[in-house]
Amino acid sequence: MSAMVVAVDVNKYFGPFHALQNVSLEISHGEVLCIIGPSGSGKSTLLRCVNQLERIDSGAIWVDDELVGFRQEGNKLYELTDAEISRQRLASGMVFQRFNLFAHMTVLENIVEGPVIVQKRAKSSVIPEAMALLERVGLADKKDAYPSELSGGQQQRIAIARALAMQPKLMLFDEPTSALDPELVGDVLSVMRDLATSGMTMIVVTHELGFAREVAHRVVFMDRGRIVETGTPHDILSSPKEKRTQDFIAAVLS
């Protein structure tokens, strides 16, 4: 099975802060990978490097065998133009912690915006697809609502539908349930569970250890900009080898 995402020796600095330290990672087609770790560990930064919301300072990332953000010429890597970066971003869909639905658009307008404006597809073929996606996340009746009229859980499910409307090869989730009231988390997780079952490649940064245990094929534990431990959900969550992982799991479960 070929790799969907490969990261090799990725380093990222924010000023003097070394946010990612020689991070290497490989994710296969159809794999669901959960990244866990304390805040400030670099897990969100790693995710944001995959779709170039952050620029890496050294190392290299490939998405579906395409080098991300650079073009190789001889023994140098040249930075791509904005237009090329925008095109590369189409490979992945992203769901944010704070939903970030377009506030001035209705639910349906949010979903068709990308396919119609960016991918230049005909509105007449996009709208039925968008409705099918709304059906899938259980919110077809909200198509004409504005984001501010919806609960956080509903907004996040719309955000997932918006990302899927671009027909990405890979879905990135950046703490998708962290900003939700506890009773709304279940609906969002169930949409994500369905998506995993459908064979979508997913990278999920999350604090939901239950979700990781149930859905992930593999779990990565990060701390202070490094990958500390990688393994099956059972390995990492039930019998972690590293002391830092043990402490983190104990702290989250307590």
Q: Does the footprint of other proteins cover residue 87 (CB under 8 A)?
A: yes
Of the residues 56, 101, 184, 202, which one makes contact with other proteins according to CB under 8 A: 101
CA–CA dist 141, 138 (Å, integer): 8
Q: Does the footprint of other proteins cover residue 86 (CB under 8 A)?
A: yes
* Residue whose CB is less far from other proteins, 96 or 221: 96
* Residue whose CB is less far from other proteins, 96 or 248: 96
- The identity of residue 24, as a single letter, is S
CA–CA dist 53, 50 (Å, integer): 8
Number of helices followed by number of strands (H, E) in the chain = 9, 12
Per-residue contact flags (x/-) with other proteins for residues 107 to 146, judged by CB under 8 A? ------xx--xxx--------------------------x
Taking the complex as a whole, the smallest distance from the CB of residue 78 to other proteins amounts, in Å, to 19
* Residue whose CB is less far from other proteins, 195 or 237: 195
Taking the complex as a whole, the smallest distance from the CB of residue 223 to other proteins amounts, in Å, to 25
Tokens 């149930």 -> residue? 214
Query: Degrees (nearest 5) of the Cα angle 236, 240, 245?
Result: 90
Q: Is 192 exposed, middle or buried (0-12, 13-18, 19+ CB in 10 A)?
A: buried
Of the residues 33, 68, 94, 200, which one makes contact with other proteins according to CB under 8 A: 94
Give the strand pairing for 3-14 and 17-28.
antiparallel
Show the tokens assigned to 183. Answer: 């009773």
Q: Does the footprint of other proteins cover residue 93 (CB under 8 A)?
A: yes
Q: Which residues bind other proteins (CB under 8 A)?
A: 51, 53, 82-83, 86-87, 89-90, 92-94, 96, 98-104, 113-114, 117-119, 146-149, 159, 162-163, 166
